[in-house]
Amino acid sequence: MTTSGKKTLDRALARTGACSRSVARAAIAAGRVQVNGRTVRDPDTWVDPVRDRLALDGSAAQAARKEVWMLHKPTGLVTTARDEHGRDTVYALLPPDLPWLAPVGRLDQDTSGLLLFTNDSDLAHSITEPATELAKTYEAECRGELGADALQQLAAGVLLADGPTRPARVERLGGDARTTRLRLVITEGRNRQVRRMLTAVGSRVLALHRTRIGPLQLGDLPVGACRRLDRAEVAALRAAVSAVPNRPRTNRGRAR
Ligand code: URA
């Protein structure tokens, strides 16, 4: 929440890029954060991110340069900063000297492919906001031979427990009597959406890989590697998310 440019201390600290919001709350409660030289222990204290001087562990917390990175996520890693079950996370693959970057949406542990990270929370919000309708492209290997009917259902929208899916672009890439390879382009990104869509048409995803988000392609980035987006790529991404279709904004089904 914000009021006239002010932010709660936890949010203001996270936005400097010093740490995640949950780490900020813990650090504030532990007395490690000063505002204008005074220790503040309530994360919900209102501060002015422009005028107030924030410090973490005695060092000034200044707004970091906005960065966007892409990672070629392998399967097996979870998309979170810290996993309560101790599983390996995608952060193991980011260079250690980066400012705090948050994942933009999520890929399942068993999904590979293009995952973005940024410290620009407004950009991240625009990318994941369902009303933006930013296209995400997946390649899926699915169980069984999916016929034209099933592909048509996927394209038209299938009914999931959290409502019907939006129309999608669906293309058969190959397969045989036991498996089908598909390319799906969806403009939302609910939890495990592609897997649930395939289950809804009587199949099951055996492997899932994201190749593209809006104008950004994973290209030949090796598995497990990451790179910073260049200016042109960030500009293309910003242009894509600002070309928002004329729809009411909603929080439902935040895209991944
Ligand atoms: N859809 C899924 O089912 N899983 C993902 O990781 C991404 C999209």
DSSP-assigned states of every residue in 107-136? --TTEEEEEEEES-HHHHHHHH-GGG---E
pLDDT at 250 over 90: no
Q: Are residues 49 and 146 in the same domain?
A: no
Active site residues: 108
Counting from 1 in the atom list of ligand 1, the atom nearest the Cα of 111 is 6
Pocket test for ligand 1, best of 162, 185, 194 (most atoms within 8 A of CB): 194
Q: Are residues 181 and 91 in the same domain?
A: yes
* Confidence at residue 248, expressed as pLDDT on a 0 to 100 scale: 47
Q: Are 44 and 29 spatial neighbours (Cβ–Cβ below 8 Å)?
A: no
Q: Give the model's confidence band at 237: pLDDT under 50 very low, under 70 low, under 90 confident, else very high.
A: very high
Cβ(34) – ligand 1 distance below 6 Å: no
Q: Are residues 117 and 23 in the same domain?
A: no
Q: Are residues 20 and 140 in the same domain?
A: no
- What are the pLDDT digits (tens) for 116-129? 999 888 899 999 99
Backbone angles phi, psi at 24, to 5 degrees: -60, -45
Region 179-197: what's the mean pLDDT? 96
* Confidence at residue 167, expressed as pLDDT on a 0 to 100 scale: 97
Cβ(107) – ligand 1 distance below 6 Å: yes
pTM score, two decimals?
A: 0.81
Residue 150 structural domain: 69-256
pLDDT at 65 over 90: no
In a domain, 1, yes or no: no
Domain count for the chain: 2
